[in-house]
């Protein structure tokens, strides 16, 4: 029992401290701009550009898609930086040297960012309602919140995989930006999936966000959670697969680093 309690304590302490550690270099003003102004800029840009460039999609298509897609800011950048920060700050050797449960430490890095990602999506929807007239009158808000939570979880799974990859790459920002902008194109946030080439549709089907965005649109159109439950189960499965792959890569990097004597696999 004491070991279980110790792992629970490690899980939550690691989650909180890894999040707080971001503010060693991320100023609060920058964070506020990213969480408040950033979603507004993204939603306005893609909604206005989409309406100008097409005649077949309503503004709601872009508002909902980009509001959900905003979770990638926390799920990809936040989670990745939580893992990469150990390498940047020189604390990775201590992490690899501790006897603490690796899975507990690994998963804990994503917890606060999942909450943060949900908060960011809600801000995006708030902008959509306040400034662009998004109608939520037919929406089951609890179902929408659950869709947001599941989508944020799966996106954070991808973030954990990219975070592990950041331990053996020199330019983590290139990886993060590439992943973020690929999600902008391939997740259905701004381009309907059925308009993509078949090869890209296959890629979309294995990405997080794709099912979450489609489910959010359905919920706002009046669907119930029962209607989107199969898609949400698939979204959870995708998130778990990314987490397992990320953890396997993390452990492989640890073994390789210790074998080479570098403790950073580089």
State the pTM of this model: 0.87
Give me the number of domains the chain comprises: 1
- Whether 266 maps to a domain, the answer reads no
What are the C-alpha distances in Å from 49 to residues 34, 167, 243?
Answer: 21, 37, 35
What is the per-residue pLDDT across 85-97, written as a single tens digit (0 to 9) for each?
777 776 777 677 7
Instruction: Show the tokens assigned to 116.
Output: 């943060």
- Whether 228 maps to a domain, the answer reads yes
DSSP characters for 86-116? HHHTT-HHHHHHS-S-HHHHHHHHHHHHHHH
- Whether 215 maps to a domain, the answer reads yes
Least confident interval from 11-25, 77-91, 93-107, 123-137: 11-25
Q: Find the domain containing 243 and state its range.
A: 2-260
What is the per-residue pLDDT across 38-64, written as a single tens digit (0 to 9) for each?
888 889 999 888 877 766 568 889 999
Identify the band that residue 167 occupies on the pLDDT scale cut at 50, 70 and 90.
confident
- Whether 114 maps to a domain, the answer reads yes
- Whether 185 maps to a domain, the answer reads yes
With a pLDDT cut of 90, the percent of the chain lying above it is 42
- Whether 87 maps to a domain, the answer reads yes
Span 242-262, mean pLDDT? 84
Instruction: Show the tokens assigned to 8.
Output: 């629970």
- Whether 265 maps to a domain, the answer reads no
At 206, give phi and psi (nearest 5°).
-110, 10
């Amino acid at each position: 029992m004491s070991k279980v309690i110790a792992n629970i304590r490690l899980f939550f302490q690691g989650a909180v401290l890894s999040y707080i550690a971001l503010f060693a270099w991320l100023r609060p003003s920058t964070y506020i701009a990213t969480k408040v102004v950033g979603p507004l800029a993204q939603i306005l840009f893609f909604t206005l550009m989409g309406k100008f460039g097409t005649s077949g999609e309503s503004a709601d298509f872009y508002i909902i898609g980009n509001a959900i897609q905003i979770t990638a800011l926390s799920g990809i950048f936040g989670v990745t930086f939580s893992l990469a920060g150990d390498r940047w700050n020189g604390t990775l050797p201590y992490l690899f040297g501790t006897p603490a449960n690796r899975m507990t430490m690994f998963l804990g890095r994503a917890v606060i960012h999942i909450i943060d990602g949900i908060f960011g999506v809600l801000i995006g929807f708030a902008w959509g309602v306040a400034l662009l007239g998004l109608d939520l009158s037919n929406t089951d808000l609890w179902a929408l919140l659950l869709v947001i939570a599941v989508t944020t979880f799966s996106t954070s799974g991808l973030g954990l995989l990219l975070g592990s990859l950041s331990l053996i790459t020199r330019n983590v920002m290139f990886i993060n930006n590439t992943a973020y902008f690929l999600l902008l194109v391939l997740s259905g946030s701004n381009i309907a999936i059925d308009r993509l080439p078949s090869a890209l549709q296959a890629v979309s089907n294995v990405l997080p966000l794709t099912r979450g965005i489609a489910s959010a649109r359905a919920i706002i159109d009046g669907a119930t959670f029962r209607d989107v439950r199969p898609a949400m189960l698939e979204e959870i499965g995708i998130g778990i697969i990314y987490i397992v792959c990320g953890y396997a890569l993390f452990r492989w990097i640890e073994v390789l680093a210790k074998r080479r004597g570098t403790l950073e696999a580089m």
